Amino acid sequence: MSTEVKVPTLGESVAEATIGEWLKKPGEAVALDEPIASLETDKVAIEVPAPVAGVMGNYVAKVGDNVAVGAVIATIEDGSPSAGAEPVAERKEAPVAPASDTVAPPAAPASADAAAALSPAVRRAVLEHGIDPASVKGTGKDGRLTKEDVLAAAQAKTAAPAPAAAAPAAPAPATPAGDRGEERVKMTRLRQTVARRLKEAQDTAALLTTFNDCDMSAVMAARERFKDSFEKKHGVKLGFMSFFAKAACLALKDFPGVNAQIQGEEIVYFPYVDLSVAVSAPNGLVVPVVRNVDKMGFADIEKAIGDLGKRAKEGTLTMADMQGGTFTISNGGIFGGLMSTPIINPPQSAVLGLHRIEDRPVVRGGEIVIRPMMYLALSYDHRLIDGREAVTALKTIKEAIEDPTRLLIDL
């Protein structure tokens, strides 16, 4: 007897998802509520739990297929792996992975079992860099490999000294024209959604970016002074994001239009700040939300952002984590970016871009001195926000960072 595995409810207004990867192979033992598949929605990856214990049976859908809520995607057979091997073997011809009409990459992971358990993004990275997945320790959920694990292994492999050659190598044969090993990979649902929303922002909003630079000396000094006692008391490190979140709330309170949205022919003003924070996940950039950040202290902000970042890396963010948001902070500085023009996150009207801290010469009191400086960028929808509001809001953030006392006295 077999039990059908169906696509669970995915969240409000989400009707379908894409099969991202199978976490269990036919014939493997499955425990009750054990994740057996990963679904990619427009915003997050969702794991499908086993409705019963038994043996993984037939795949009804393959990786890359779009499936609706309630659709049957697999079966689970009764019994143990030994008992269930025979019925599974009878359906061995069922497709397990999507067919491809492209040329196969020249290299493959050493272990077929390891390759089957990898997500499409990780599998692609393994093939591209020639990494044996069995030789890399995974940091993802349940020890699974992430794309970052593979890239780190590839970087370590490149950094290792190459053995001395016994004889001059023969020149490589010329690559035939038209056959350079190109690879075509279907865009994930998340990447398609990101692409569509960013293009919608460009097509709909009147985007404009204003810049300023910020002296980070005061914040860095405060962080250095209190970091140990802060972590000891609150159990979390004191970072820069809490300072910028508090500074942004200060500016949004004085300039509510920067925290507002255009909905139809109306402007909606929010008396609260739900802060969207752009974080990196294995499948791309995601923007989970810290709610009521204007009511939170430094420690609560750091804990909330740290938790969202950890769950983004593990792929355990939920649809509820991604919904809403009135203003966004994107920190490109962690990747070394010096300056950028961030794109707003619709239907929001503004986004603050942070960048790397760099020692630069500046004039203070008529003298040239070296200060740790950061470029700030505020992109905004000019349909709703005037230039004066945007420039002054960014100036407020700059002043609050340069003199954190303003955050305490609401100035």
Task: Find how far residue 373's CA is from the centre of its chain.
Answer: 27
How far is Cα 267 from Cα 270, in angstroms, rounded to an integer? 10
Q: How far, in Å, CA of 63 to CA of 10, rounded?
A: 18
Q: With CA atoms as reference, report the closest residue to 82 among 58, 60, 59, 54.
A: 54
Q: What residue type is 101 in one-letter code? A: D
Please give the Cα distance from 244 to 378 (Å, whole number).
13
Structure tokens at 301: 């902000």
Tokens (6 digits) for 79: 């019994």
Dig out the tokens for 396 from the structure.
Answer: 């407020």
DSSP summary character for residue 368: E
**Rounded Cα–Cα distance for residues 329 and 239 (Å):** 14
Residues 6+ apart with CB under 8 A from 248: 273, 275, 327, 329, 352, 397
- Among this protein's residues, is 254 annotated catalytic? no
What CA–CA distance (Å, rounded) separates 341 from 20?
32
The residue from 113, 132, 254, 386 that is catalytic is: 386
CA-nearest of 334, 374, 333 to 216 is: 374
CB 159 within 8 A of CB 152: no
CA torsion 94-99-104-107 (nearest 10°) is -40
Which one-letter amino acid corresponds to residue 224?
A: E
Is 382 catalytic? The answer is yes
Q: Which of 33, 382, 403, 410 is catalytic?
A: 382
Tell me which residues are annotated as active site: 382, 386
